[in-house]
Amino acid sequence: MLDIVLYQPEIPPNTGNIGRLCVSNDLRLHLVEPLGFEISDKQLKRSGMDYWQYLNLTIHKDWNELISFFGESRNYWFFTTKTEKSFWSAEFQENDILVFGPETRGLPEELLNQNPQRCLTIPMLGKHKRSLNLSTSAGVAVYEALRQISL
């Protein structure tokens, strides 16, 4: 099983879509506060549809609580546009943790700087590019990790 972490997510439909992705693939979802919405938000539930009740969800008050929950020994992968290392070069394993930042600013520089060997980007080929939508990025990353793990 993989764990998906959304660090301070801001847009309810993205989190709802990722929750649905998690339920559909037996993944756990972790949200690190503060959240940019209420967990009872109608848009969140609408995006998650009737899957939300089956979601394995844990909410952490901050990054330190998340680290205490998992410990240091797990493989954390930090998805960011601020690295050149493609996610295709990663060797994903069972129990890895895929970490995504908030939609408007991404993961904190401090976190990325502490983990440069674990920072990954999803290559974009278009010339007018900034970043992919959060739920799209999570879907791309999850299915690549699952492809590798299930081989």
Parse the chain into domains and list their residue ranges. 3-150
User: Where in 1-79 does DSSP place strands (E)?
Assistant: 3-7, 28-32, 56-60, 76-79
DSSP string, 111-137: HHHH-GGGEEB----SSS-S---HHHH
Q: What is the pLDDT along the chain (151 residues), one digit of tens a residue?
A: 899 999 999 998 899 999 999 999 999 999 999 999 888 757 666 665 677 889 999 999 999 999 999 988 899 999 999 999 999 999 999 999 999 999 999 999 999 999 999 999 999 876 656 678 999 999 999 999 999 998 6
pLDDT tens track for 42-65: 766 666 567 788 999 999 999 999
Q: Are 138 and 100 in contact (CB under 8 A)?
A: yes
Amino acid at 66: L
Amino acid at 11: I
Q: Which fold has domain 3-150?
A: Alpha/beta knot (3.40.1280)
